[in-house]
Structures are given as C-alpha cells and as structure tokens.
Amino acid sequence: MIRVRYLALAAAPLALAACGDRADDARGVDHGETLLSVSASGQAESRPDRAQFQAGIETWARSAKDASAANAEKIAEIVAALKELGVADEDIQTRSVSVQRIDWGDRKGQFQASNVVEVTMDNPDRAGDAVTAVTSAGANIVSGPNLSMTDPESTANLAYADAYKAARKRAEAYAEAAGMEVSRVLYIRDAGGQQGQTWLRGAEVMDAMVESAAVRTQAAPPPPVAPPPPINASPGMMVGTTQSNVYIQVDFALREK
C-alpha cells in the first residue's frame, strides 16, 4: 500500500527577476517575462515489503579444526530452521566466515570460529518468527532486521511528483498576486532527499538553501542493535511505513495576463 501526503514547502527565498531588453540566455527568460525560482519539498509513504537480518554462530575449541567442525554443525541447524519456515536457499547468503586464535581473556589459547548469514524475507511480518527460529537453533549472533522496499524508486517518484505539484501551486499563487500567469517551466533540479535511512542523491550542484534543508531533515543514526531475544521468545514486528522526503528547485517564467 502506498500513501502520498502533501508536505509544506521548505522555507526559501523566492527570486523574482524582471527581464531587460534582451533575453537572458543563461536562464532562458525571454523579453517580457519574469523569472520566478521556487524551492519545494514533497513526501510519500510506503509500507516495507522486505526484511533482512543477519544470524550466525560463534564456537570455541582447542583446535581450529574442532572449532570449525562445531561451527559448521550449528550453522547447518540454523539454516535448517530457516528452511522450515519456507525461506529459500537464494534468500540465505553467507556474509562472513572466520577462524582465529584467541590470545586474551578466559579463552586464551583456544580457537574461535564464526559464520554469519544474511536472510532476506519477502514478508516482513514473519521476520520475528525467523529470529525466534534461529535463536532457538542456537544462533548467538543476531542483528536487524532492516526493513526496505523492493521497488523504492516508485515511492521516490511519487514524492518528486508531489514536490513538483507544490512548486507549481506556489508559482501560480505568486503569479496571481502579481497580476501575471505562469508562462512555462524553464528549469527543474533534483536536489535529492531521504528515504528511510537511505540518502537519495540529487544533482551534483545544489543550491545552498536546498542542501542545508535536506541535511536538517536527515534522520538520526539508527540505535545500536539490541541483544538477541531469549530462546523461545516471540519478538513482535511493527513494520509501519517508510517515508520518502525529497527536494526540488523549479524555475518558472511568468508573463503579463
């Protein structure tokens, strides 16, 4: 489900520049037209339809061979638990494998083996069940989930369309107040934005105002990952919605009615 919500225009100075006796070739304004530059923002929301989390196991033994063997056995149990939930092979990907000697602490002289897989689920509501399954199977490394959309571009495009409508509405209000009308669109610049925790890159050259507005709205860094839930726990998943906030600049040409 995708919802679009109007977001107020970012506060910005609006430039009105009257033309002289010749066309302004740099801005594309013809004689008799007035330049109006508008900065606007738009927003769209979508419910994430994908969840990714990492699960793995750390094991210790007196030799690297024994640590690796124990680790392979436990990771096989974790993968089997995921498959029982219907997670396909292609949705389970190894992220890291390591074996190292421990030279400090109570386990000094032992070997530590670790294996971490990344799990992708098309149904975020079942991610909680998957976390419970892997911890019950012995996983002692769990992080996530990261909720996202399989088609983030479609939601971002809705936000950009919303931003343009807002810019056009503001331009028409200025034109009406000045006894003029919008003649044509001269220039549209994508100033980027943010979708959840993902930055949407805009044009390389950004207006200082738009750039600072985008920086101010960036979400705070995600909190540290919580410890794995107790075995047999049933962590709830609150999928919610992901917001896309974007910024644009549009130059309009105004003319006398």
CATH number for the domain harbouring residue 205: 3.30.110.170
Is residue 45 classed exposed, middle or buried when 0-12, 13-18 and 19+ CB atoms within 10 A define those classes? Answer: middle
Domain containing 136: what range?
50-148
pLDDT tens digits along 6-27:
444 443 444 444 444 444 554 6
- Encoded tokens for 230: 């107790």
Domain boundary among 120, 148, 176: 148
pLDDT tens digits along 27-72:
678 888 999 999 999 999 999 999 999 999 999 999 999 999 999 9
Confidence of residue 1 (pLDDT cuts 50, 70, 90): low
Q: Which whole number is the average pLDDT over 181-192?
A: 95
pLDDT at 47: 94
pLDDT at 178: 95
Same domain for 93 and 118? Answer: yes
Taking the model in full, what pTM does it have? 0.65
- The larger pLDDT score, comparing residue 221 to residue 77, is at 77
Q: Looking at the 3D structure of the chain, how many domains does it have?
A: 2
Same domain for 132 and 169? Answer: no
* H/E stretch holding 171: helix 152-177
pLDDT tens digits along 126-171:
999 999 999 999 999 999 899 999 999 999 999 999 999 999 999 9
pLDDT tens digits along 91-118:
999 999 999 999 999 999 999 999 999 9
Contact in structure between 133 and 85 (CB atoms under 8 Å): yes
